[in-house]
Structure 1
Amino acid sequence: MARTAHALHILVKHKDQAEDIIKQLKKGAKFQTLARKYSNCPSGKKGGDLGEFKKGQMVPQFDKICFTGETLVPHLVKTKFGWHVVKVLYRT
Structure 2
Amino acid sequence: MANTAAALHILVKDKEKADDLLQQIEKGADFQALAKKHSTCPSGRKGGDLGEFRRGQMVPAFDKVCFEGEILKPSLVKTQFGWHIVKTLYRS
| Range class of TM-score, shorter chain | over 0.9
Q: Which runs of 5+ in 1 are unaligned?
A: none
State the aligned residue count.
92
Give the letter for the 1:43 counterpart: S
Q: Once the two structures are aligned, what percentage of the paired residues are identical?
A: 68
Name the structure 2 match of 1:35.
35
In the superposition, the TM-score normalised over structure 1's length comes to 0.99
Name the structure 2 match of 1:70.
70
* Counterpart secondary structure, 1:53: strand
Q: Which runs of 4+ in 1 moved over 3 A?
A: none
Give the letter for the 1:89 counterpart: L
Supply the distance in 2 between the matched residues of 1:4 and 1:85 (Cα, whole angstroms): 19
* Counterpart secondary structure, 1:6: strand
Supply the distance in 2 between the matched residues of 1:50 and 1:25 (Cα, whole angstroms): 18
Give the letter for the 1:44 counterpart: G
In the superposition, the TM-score normalised over structure 2's length comes to 0.99
Supply the distance in 2 between the matched residues of 1:28 and 1:63 (Cα, whole angstroms): 25
